[in-house]
Each structure stands twice: as structure tokens, then as C-alpha cells.
Amino acid sequence: MKRYLILEDGSVFPGEGFGAETVTTGEIVFNTGMSGYQETITDQSYNGQIITFTYPLIGNAGINRDDYESINPTAKGVVVHETARVTGNWRAQMTLDEFLRRKHIPGISGIDTRALTKRLREAGTMKASIVDAADEHAFDQLRALVLPKNQVSQVATTQAYPAPGTGKNIVVVDFGLKHSILRELSKRECNVTVVPPTITAGEILELNPDGVMLTNGPGDPKDVPGALDMIRGVEGHIPMFGICLGHQLFALANGADTFKMKYGHRGFNHPVREIATGRIDFTSQNHGYAVARDSIDPDQLLITHEEINDHTVEGLRHRLYPAFSVQFHPDAAPGPHDADHLFDEFMEMMDAFSANKGASHA
């Protein structure tokens, strides 16, 4: 089935369709990971985006029941150079093609993904469509598209729900969470309550948690202004840990600014330096926005991590309160687990806070 990938700058990439037989439009981005396509496609941070995989062969391990980051992905499309003709992994339940059909996500293969990625690196992310005909009507529709501003509300839970455990009580504020965050908390026997992004500080304090986690999610952090009052109302009262979008919201709540990157960080080969120790972790990342370094108030926030290649801000810690955040995914999935020690640091922060609180009331 002949299909075309068209970009808003007029570029046309012919290929063969797979997955759902539908036309799609969204923001096109590229991911540099060599594996983990199932986790990538089901990551809700890709809401509204067409994902280009730079690795040339995708689909060889099929789709299995263990590697979902969400049950119903909301990516708009998948672009690959070649789809695997044979699925050989013993865990596979279905092929990538079958999965995309079931989830109503179109794909296109046979694309020169190197040329496409170079184009996106030069021009930046842009609107794109997977269509049946690369005619003027298709381009008119593409150029008329207005990218949504309510992405978090499209993917986050609207009702609180538990993930029971026997340890620390953690409130997880869902902005489009990855299941791997819940897995890491489960490993540490946490008793988790997942809450919607519209929750207020007062409602969180009523739950009397030991800690609060701000999750990843899609889109521009400035499209979630209601979360900033919640963060300001909670920090200082309860230890807090932000990841990805949660990191950006934590920065905004404390007076910093964010900006849209030219093509973002999407992959899991991003080296990040912990400034205090010089430790370097290879990290999993998926974000199109970043915290502006020159906007950070040094009396409020300390920069703890930076990306080695472009020196973007990758970690922050509050100078007055027990609260910190990172731009990357210490939960990985996909990617290396170099940074999963940050979950342990969160546990230690809660212990220290509880001990100090108890001492002050003694």
C-alpha cells in the first residue's frame, strides 16, 4: 500500500503503509534508541506526535504484555526505514503491524530516515502527515492544522486510583505517567495513590503522604498553569520529586522559565553529568522543552545535573525545601538504569524529612 510522509516545509517521502489504514497528522519527531520501540510508542509523552525511529530495523521483537508504558497509546504515527518480516522473540504476542492496527495508529516504512532526521535537525520539529496522496489538498490540510494545547488532559487520569503497597505513602500526580515510574515505586514497596493533574495542594495535604511525585507528560509545561499553585502549596510541607514534565513544572513553580528546543532529546543515549560529583549517567530522555538556565534564581534552585552535549539543565534541587527534579527518566523503560538510584535518594529524603519532623515535635 503506497503512502507518503509529507512535511509542512513541502518535503515528500514516499513509502509503504503498515499499521492502521488511516491518514494522520501531528508533530514529527525522531527517536535515536536502538531498541525499546514498544515502550516508546506507548509513552504518553508522545501524545499527538509522529515518531521517526532512526534505527533502521524496527519490529523484530514484536509486542509483548510486559513492556507497555500505557495501555492505549496516543502517538499519531510511526515512521521507520524497515519493518521486520519475522518476529522471533519468545515473549511476542503480536507483530508491530497488528498492534498498530489494533491501536488505530498508521505507520509508514521504506523511508530514508537518515535524510528525514537530518532535515529535522536542520529545520527543527514540524507538522507532518502520513497520507495516501501527496497533493496540494493534503498540504493545505497540513498547514491549516493547529497543534493542541490541552495534551496533558488528553492522557492523564481524571480519577484517583491506588497502587497498593506496604511502605511509604506516595502521591503520584499524573501528567501522562509511564508505568515504569509505578514499577520503580512498587520495587520499593511504596503505597501509591495516583491522582489527576487538576488536584489541589489542599487535597494532597489531606492525604498526608510521605512524598509527592510529579510525573512525565506531553506538551508545553506552560499549558498546565494550574499545577504551579499546587506545587508551591506542597513543597516545603512534603518531600517532592519531579521527572521530565514534572521537572519543568517544578522549575516554573519556582520562578524559572522554559523554552521549546529545536528538536528535543528523544532516545536513551544522552550522557548527563551530576555537577557535584562529576558522575556521568547515560539516560533515557523524551522531551521537546527545557528549563532556561539563565532564568533560574540561584537563591531558590540549585542546578544539579546537565546534559554533556548541549549543556541543557537536567536536574534541579530546591535550596530551602526537600524537593528535587530531573529532566531525564531514571525509570528508563526503554534505556539504561544508570540513574535509578534517584528513586532511592527520594526514599532517603523522605526518611530524613520524617526524622527531622519528629525531632522538632519531640
Return the CATH number at 26: 3.50.30.20
pLDDT surpasses 90 at 359: no
Q: How far apart are CA 170 and CA 286, in angstroms?
A: 24
Active site residues: 244, 329, 331
Per-residue model confidence as pLDDT tens digits over 216-233: 999 999 999 999 999 999
Q: What angle do CA 199, 243, 146 make, to 5 degrees?
A: 75
Per-residue confidence band for 85, with pLDDT thresholds at 50, 70 and 90: confident
pLDDT surpasses 60 at 362: no
User: Is 245 known as a binding-site position?
Assistant: yes
pLDDT surpasses 70 at 4: yes
pLDDT surpasses 80 at 358: no
User: Is 288 known as a binding-site position?
Assistant: yes
**Could you tell me if 28 and 128 lie in one domain?**
yes
Q: What DSSP assignment string belongs to 55-107?
A: SSEE-TT-B-SS--S-SS----EEE-SEE-S----TT-SB-HHHHHHHTT-EE
Return the CATH number at 199: 3.40.50.880
**Could you tell me if 301 and 329 lie in one domain?**
yes
Q: Looking at the whole model, is its pTM more than 0.95? A: yes
Q: Scanning the structure block, which residue is given the C-alpha cell 491549516?
A: 144
Mean pLDDT for 252-267 is 98
Q: Supply the pLDDT for residue 356.
A: 86
Per-residue model confidence as pLDDT tens digits over 285-300: 999 999 999 999 999 9
User: Is 278 known as a binding-site position?
Assistant: no
pLDDT surpasses 70 at 361: no
What's the structural domain count of the chain?
2
Residue 80 gets the label, from left (phi > 0), alpha (psi -120 to 50) or beta, of beta
Per-residue confidence band for 86, with pLDDT thresholds at 50, 70 and 90: confident
Per-residue model confidence as pLDDT tens digits over 196-214: 999 999 999 999 999 999 9
User: Is 46 known as a binding-site position?
Assistant: no
Per-residue model confidence as pLDDT tens digits over 115-159: 999 999 999 999 999 999 999 999 999 999 999 999 999 999 999
**Could you tell me if 137 and 159 lie in one domain?**
no
**Could you tell me if 8 and 122 lie in one domain?**
yes
> Taking all residues of the chain, what is their mean pLDDT, rounded to a whole number?
96
Dihedral angle over CA of 254, 259, 260, 265, nearest 10? -60
pLDDT surpasses 90 at 357: no
**Could you tell me if 181 and 315 lie in one domain?**
yes
Which residues are registered as beta bridge partners of 58?
83
